Amino acid sequence: MKYLKKYENLNKPQINDYVICEDQDYTNGELVDFISKNVGKIVAYTKDYEKIEDVFAINYPYIVKYENIPEKLNGLEFGDYLAYTRVFSDSEILYHSNNKEDVEKKLSLLRATNKYNL
């Protein structure tokens, strides 16, 4: 049984996975709306930019890049580590896959369920 522990976290998001996120820490409604309605891509881990002991790198391990960011949202809201990126925790990633089409289908399903309060 001790050998099975190696495979416990196989379903964790990886670099180059596409993700649907929700920003739980930010109060800007437009930013929260943009993030929840767009697909991002994990481009790096924060531990690559912070000391491994850093609490921030442990709590927010993923750097997610977005495209087509509106000008009014670009700036302080994006680019903490790399251009057009934000950091997210495990709990903020709602869905992930290495296939962008799967994530886009899930996003359209989430939009439909939110539209009809399902």
pLDDT tens track for 2-33:
554 555 556 889 999 999 998 876 667 888 88
**SS3 call for 53:** coil
- Domain ranges in the chain? 13-115
Positions in the chain whose pLDDT score sits under 70: 1-10, 25-27, 50-54, 56, 74-81, 115-118
H or E element in which residue 65 lies: strand 62-65
Rounded to whole angstroms, the Cα distance separating 81 from 78 reads 9
